[in-house]
Structure 1
Amino acid sequence: MQLRQFLTATSFATTTAITTTIVAIAAPVNAAQPPRIDQQIECEILIVGGGLSGTAAAYEGLLAGRTVCMTEITDWVGGQISAQGTSALDERPTQREMLFYDRGYKKLRDRIEEKYGRLNPGGCWVSASCFFPQDGHEILLGLLREAEAEGNGKLNLLFSTVIKDLEITDGQIRSAIAITHTPATGAPPLNTFPLSQIMPEAYRYDNSERFTKTVTKFIPQPPKPDPETGLPVPRPANSPDWYVIEATETGEIVGLADVPYRLGIDPLSPREPSSSSKTADNYCTQGFTYTFAMEATAEPQNHQTPELYAQYAPYYSYELERLASFPFVFTYRRIHTPTPEFFETVDFSFYKEEEAIVVGDISMQNWTWGNDYRPGTSKDNLIYSRDQLQSNGQLNPGGWLGGLRVKTLSEGERISWGYFHWLVSGTTDSRLDKPATTAKPEEEKSQPSIKQPRPNNRFLSGLDSPMGTEHGLSKYPYMREGRRIIGRPSWGNPEGFKIAEIDISRRDYNDEYYKTNLPEDMYRKLRVAIAGLEKAAVISGDLDSAEIPVRARSTIYPDAVGIGHYAIDFHPCLVKYPVETPGNFERPGERRGQGQAYPFQIPLRAMIPQNLDNLIVAGKSVATSHIAAAAYRVHSFEWSSGVAAGTVADFALENAIAPFEMVDDLPRQEPQLEAFQQRLRENGNPISFPDTSIFNEDWEDWK
């Protein structure tokens, strides 16, 4: 099917958007009765979402010998490195040099190198490893099968499958109803149509012209019999029979289960001193991106202008003058080159030269003022807030349709197709071209736009293309932010646990900005919060808050179960509706929170939602603030959080406890927590970086 046909065929689902609060009030959820149950599958661990965190959870669960069920809306595992097309590992130099990663993530890196004979077959400059998305899927699928055999576990993996309904009683998920879609007789194969056309049908029980549906009910697997007596081992009355792991890209199960969560910007506070809003804003989340692949050709290609291109053209830009180089942007995330050995020794500045591109090179595109789609209003936000879900009936039994605005998905697809056309045919730059005046028109004509056409490139589409889709876009958009749970209230966290900006940021809070712009009492509380070992002296008055040195490490958690390191990296929402409005601009102040972060930890409390005892949260939906989430979203973090989720599910089943019981007495000693942390370490899954202690503040050299 031609690109033009997709652009004209996309149908939009309309919804009513209203202003909403950010905290969900949980209530019991009873599953609606589906028209039929085609199969029933027993699980010890049900993982919803086959991205990196879901795959890591399955990997550890299988090695532990568990029966693992996993659902995935696409037909690839791997999320970021496969179905979302961002197959360029986001890593930090020091952690990479030390190879300080979880055992499964290190195997992933090793298998990439084994397959290609080098870790970076694309010769990209953004990462130490850029490769084909399908290879990411195949490598991870192989690792899961190996873990299944090695641990004597069992994997039930259902592709093209979504969760439609949950049965929740007495604080536990008792069952889950899923829908699998497969091509109907005579219909086009999977991956023919973009996601915006799939979602309205994927969450409905009835068959359609395109899809035949299979309805599955997931239920807990009965306890394994005692090896001596052969009888089932009884469990304590309130001990969960199974665990459900939320590993979706948007916090889908968080929304469906209706547990308390946040969406978008947190209000300004002593722990979020760089927030761009004095009040919360549900609608300003980070942008999402449909990636695509393009190939450098020897001859110019015939490029047809997509319909509505003129509508989106005012958005596209190289963004900054130092980035305004087509070779620079093309090689940024190059996933294939015929001459990878050549790019192992070139100087960084070389990537701005024409010689940096070789005929046959394939680039994956992911650019802020290109194919990022960054809505920020109640009219176009992608991830519905709780009030919006309630308004459009998705919180009713049987009403769940994925929790996303389909029209916004479609707009994101269109802007990506348009971005390719801008790269190859565009002649204007929305942010870098000087505005027209009438003062000296003859001089203006002599100053060409910084954007010149690059016709020697072709858009790669088809089921055998790098993205594996007929339309050429990634199977699922790259998501940078979703629903973020609010952890349970605890000592020091009366409103619910979360990881905040000041827990990880390297920002100098002695900066005059904070003293000038924060209310006096808020600034004083900020200084106390970052006092570290000097906190007691500040509170007692023995040390003036202005004399407090800047803390040079992240917060250390007694319940740490994983690690991560990445910069606080923003792709901010835009102010005007729609996104492509000429002259649109990023929300003021959003980038103040961005910058370098210290190596950080994943606390178990960030993975435990309120109200449900057998739901474990991994990936982007752990309890972070909007600013902290901008660092807690990349590849190795997702894997580490998944490792923690899969391992804690196994540990909790083995010991007949719920995860919250391992942290409910903090800061007092928790023996079961310590045993669990020891298991993680023994399995080769670190929970802290080398030399982590409250006395070590020498982290400036970590790059």
Structure 2
Amino acid sequence: MSLTEISADVVVVGAGLGGIAAAIAAADRGASVVLTEEHPWIGGQLTSQAVPPDEHPWIEQFGANERYRRLREGIRDVYRRSYPLRPEAKAWPELNPGAGWVSKLCHEPRVALAVLEEMLAPWRSSGRIRLLERVRPTAAGVDGDVVTSVTLTSVLGDGARVTVSAAYVVDATETGELLPLTGTEYVTGFESAAETGEPSAPAQAQPDNVQALSVCYVVEHADGDHTIERPERYDFWSSYRPAAWNGANLLSWTAPSPRTLEMDTRTFTPNPGDDALAVRADQSKDPGDGGNLWTFRRVAAASLFEPGHYSSDICLVNWPSIDYFLAPVLDVEPEEAERRIADARQLSLSMLYWMQTEAPREDGGTGFPGLRLRPDVMGSSDGLAQAVYHRESRRIRAVTTVTENDVSYAVRGDRGATRYEDSVGVGMYRIDLHPSTGGDTYIDVPSTPFEIPLGALLPRRMTNLIAANKNIGTTHITNGCYRVHPVEWNIGEAAGHLAAYCLARSRTPHEVQERPDVLTDFQHELIATGAQLRWPEGAHPY
């Protein structure tokens, strides 16, 4: 077993959207950065997990940082420069390559990967950012309230390890993996109403009650029979009837409506011949999942491209039927967590097999044997996403914890969300909680456009660890609106800039948050980089 030791000003663990944003921000501010990633692709939600961006309705005009806008426009630019778009599609200012209803920018994950790689390239070439690939954190050095180093182990089974020493440690992992390794205080699952005062919280804390995770994949519809081998757990999953499904099978076109909880039967028609240019995705007006599931998360609409480029649309499967909520994977023995994730993969494959063999069709027949996995689109050998889509993480016991009472439209109304003097970014999304491991159904609560307080990125005790993903100081409930793509990017960008600012100014993160003069100076720097810290007056979609 080989062990390498390196050092940097900042180590960013996890190269999802928050991690990449943090690394770029820190490097741009002058810090040397080590960025690490476990999976073959950087990009997290947007790439290895294959989830198109969940965004608010004004994303094209305001409510996002400048660097996030560059990412979005970079994706469109790749399609315009390199893909054979029809002239009408190329001229579409708000080009949506997949014409999916879930997002104004549905696209293939590999295109986002290319843009993120391009955004990192100058910093990697200069040596300011060093990317360590295919490693995961397995240990940490701690001296009192300071994290001194992080040890990462190769996931390739070769026994290689590297220990990174750094002045600042940014946890941008999908599940807050550094928190138990460093002894940082954190919470999982549902907090109690007595602790948070939230109207949607239970009377007693439920630490094992965590949102469903999903293993996504894409399919096309082709000639011939592409039915996969019957999954090992198909008998279980094909007969599983969750309580929230009111007697319906999980593997079906039927599921509770997130907003009404009434049972809703969707349709499924591959390549429906719809007018892709007419799609205007806006979940504040139409959640988009009540109609044809094929177009809900479609990532390539064949009709937007020259005839013959795509033989079929490409449809992302990320639906209620693949939500895995039998048991949590946080803070269980590694072998048990692996078993549960393997079961989630079996669920995803079982849904595909059900669609290929048993799913009712609108013509009265059953099964769509022409559905075919696209491993090349996923960058995987089996056609499933490289990484699990975790909706919920361990969350730090933070200086500031955002609760439902801070963002719920039912609570806040026209007053808007709580205003934070230490805001370092903005976000907007409904409080969207999927069924959970405690047996709960959806919680879907309208929210107001909100701010990201710097105090939510800071643990109460640890002095040099900064949260930069879904592990910030939210509750189980407010995680449901702070977990989406542009918010994660804004959190990460603030975290990376903060680390570099503290190094350059000989300040501590807590000092920046507590001292008005230092905070104002830091916020001015963020604004100068293109960060948006406040919403314009009157911005709400209800």
TM-score normalised over the length of structure 1: 0.66
In the alignment, which residue of structure 2 is the partner of 1:138?
114
TM superposition shift of 1:49: 0.4
C-alpha distance in structure 2 between counterparts of 1:554 and 1:656, whole Å: 33
**Which residue type is aligned with residue 367 of structure 2?**
P
The correspondence for 1:422, drawn from 337, 348, 354, is 354
C-alpha distance in structure 1 between counterparts of 2:529 and 2:227, whole Å: 54
Q: Where in structure 1 are there 5+ consecutive unaligned residues? A: 1-34, 183-210, 221-241, 343-357, 393-400, 430-447, 489-496, 510-529, 531-549, 576-585, 692-697
C-alpha distance in structure 2 between counterparts of 1:619 and 1:270, whole Å: 23
1:566 aligns with 2:460: no
CA-to-partner distance for each residue in 1:402-443, whole Å, 9 max, x for gaps? x971111111111011111122222479xxxxxxxxxxxxxx
In the alignment, which residue of structure 1 is the partner of 2:159?
213
C-alpha distance in structure 1 between counterparts of 2:402 and 2:210, whole Å: 17
**Sequence identity percentage:** 28
Contact 2:214 2:388 (8 Å CA) reproduced: yes
In the alignment, which residue of structure 1 is the partner of 2:329?
382
| Displacement over 4 Å in runs of 4+ | 320-323, 448-451
Q: Quick one: structure 1 residues 404 and 47, their matched pair in 2 at CA, closer, same or farther if it must change by over 3 Å?
A: farther
In the alignment, which residue of structure 1 is the partner of 2:506?
656
Instruction: Give SS of 2:130's match.
Output: strand
C-alpha distance in structure 2 between counterparts of 1:100 and 1:501, whole Å: 20
The correspondence for 2:394, drawn from 473, 477, 483, is 483
Instruction: Give SS of 1:627's match.
Output: coil
C-alpha distance in structure 2 between counterparts of 1:551 and 1:690, whole Å: 13
In the alignment, which residue of structure 2 is the partner of 1:290?
215
The correspondence for 2:266, drawn from 310, 324, 339, is 324
In the alignment, which residue of structure 2 is the partner of 1:361?
313
TM superposition shift of 1:690: 1.7
C-alpha distance in structure 2 between counterparts of 1:338 and 1:92, whole Å: 26
**Which residue type is aligned with residue 57 of structure 1?**
A
Contact 1:49 1:246 (8 Å CA) reproduced: yes
1:498 aligns with 2:401: yes
C-alpha distance in structure 2 between counterparts of 1:98 and 1:323, whole Å: 34
C-alpha distance in structure 1 between counterparts of 2:170 and 2:336, whole Å: 20
Instruction: Give SS of 2:514's match.
Output: coil
TM superposition shift of 1:213: 2.7
CA-to-partner distance for each residue in 1:215-242, whole Å, 9 max, x for gaps? 112123xxxxxxxxxxxxxxxxxxxxx1
C-alpha distance in structure 1 between counterparts of 2:336 and 2:501, whole Å: 34
Structure of greater Rg: 1
Instruction: Give SS of 2:295's match.
Output: helix
**Which residue type is aligned with residue 77 of structure 1?**
I
C-alpha distance in structure 1 between counterparts of 2:491 and 2:201, whole Å: 28
The correspondence for 1:373, drawn from 317, 320, 324, is 324
C-alpha distance in structure 2 between counterparts of 1:427 and 1:165, whole Å: 46
Question: 1:445-594 alignment to 2 at 5 Å?
Answer: 452-461=366-375, 465-488=376-399, 497-507=400-410, 509=411, 550-575=413-438, 586-587=439-440, 591=442, 593-594=443-444
TM-score normalised over the length of structure 2: 0.85
Contact 1:427 1:449 (8 Å CA) reproduced: no
**Which residue type is aligned with residue 149 of structure 2?**
S
1:254 aligns with 2:179: yes
TM superposition shift of 1:449: 12
TM superposition shift of 1:97: 3.5
1:129 aligns with 2:105: yes
In the alignment, which residue of structure 2 is the partner of 1:155?
129
C-alpha distance in structure 2 between counterparts of 1:60 and 1:363, whole Å: 34
Q: Which moved more, 1:450-459 or 1:69-78?
A: 450-459
TM superposition shift of 1:254: 1.2
C-alpha distance in structure 2 between counterparts of 1:359 and 1:176, whole Å: 47
In the alignment, which residue of structure 2 is the partner of 1:522?
none
Question: 1:635-654 alignment to 2 at 5 Å?
Answer: 635-654=485-504
The correspondence for 1:102, drawn from 55, 59, 65, is 65
Task: Give the structure with the larger strand fraction.
Answer: 2
Contact 2:18 2:469 (8 Å CA) reproduced: yes
**Which residue type is aligned with residue 257 of structure 1?**
T
C-alpha distance in structure 1 between counterparts of 2:186 and 2:12, whole Å: 19
**Which residue type is aligned with residue 328 of structure 2?**
N
Contact 1:560 1:602 (8 Å CA) reproduced: yes
C-alpha distance in structure 1 between counterparts of 2:117 and 2:426, whole Å: 24
In the alignment, which residue of structure 1 is the partner of 2:78?
115
**Which residue type is aligned with residue 266 of structure 2?**
A
TM superposition shift of 1:471: 1.3
Instruction: Give SS of 2:377's match.
Output: coil
C-alpha distance in structure 1 between counterparts of 2:417 and 2:195, whole Å: 16
Contact 1:267 1:275 (8 Å CA) reproduced: no
C-alpha distance in structure 2 between counterparts of 1:688 and 1:404, whole Å: 43
TM superposition shift of 1:456: 2.3
TM superposition shift of 1:323: 4.6
CA-to-partner distance for each residue in 1:327-383, whole Å, 9 max, x for gaps? 3112211112321269xxxxxxxxxxxxxxx95111111011x111013xxxx3211
In the alignment, which residue of structure 2 is the partner of 1:445?
none
Contact 2:135 2:155 (8 Å CA) reproduced: yes
Instruction: Give SS of 2:487's match.
Output: helix
Q: Paired residues, what number?
A: 488
1:167 aligns with 2:126: no
Question: 1:48-127 alignment to 2 at 5 Å?
Answer: 48-86=13-51, 88-94=52-58, 96-117=59-80, 119-127=95-103
TM superposition shift of 1:36: 4.8
Q: Where in structure 2 are there 5+ consecutive unaligned residues? A: 81-89, 240-249, 257-262, 270-291
**Which residue type is aligned with residue 75 of structure 1?**
P
TM superposition shift of 1:615: 0.3
CA-to-partner distance for each residue in 1:558-589, whole Å, 9 max, x for gaps? 100111111111112155xxxxxxxxxx42xx
TM superposition shift of 1:276: 4.5
Question: 1:170-189 alignment to 2 at 5 Å?
Answer: 170-182=144-156
C-alpha distance in structure 2 between counterparts of 1:371 and 1:656, whole Å: 48
Contact 1:65 1:153 (8 Å CA) reproduced: no
TM superposition shift of 1:128: 1.0
TM superposition shift of 1:274: 2.7
The correspondence for 1:625, drawn from 475, 481, 484, is 475
**Which residue type is aligned with residue 373 of structure 1?**
Y
Q: Which moved more, 1:269-278 or 1:112-121?
A: 269-278
1:689 aligns with 2:539: no
C-alpha distance in structure 1 between counterparts of 2:25 and 2:518, whole Å: 19
CA-to-partner distance for each residue in 1:215-272, whole Å, 9 max, x for gaps? 112123xxxxxxxxxxxxxxxxxxxxx1100000001111221211111011124854
Instruction: Give SS of 1:687's match.
Output: coil
Contact 1:80 1:478 (8 Å CA) reproduced: yes
Contact 1:65 1:148 (8 Å CA) reproduced: no
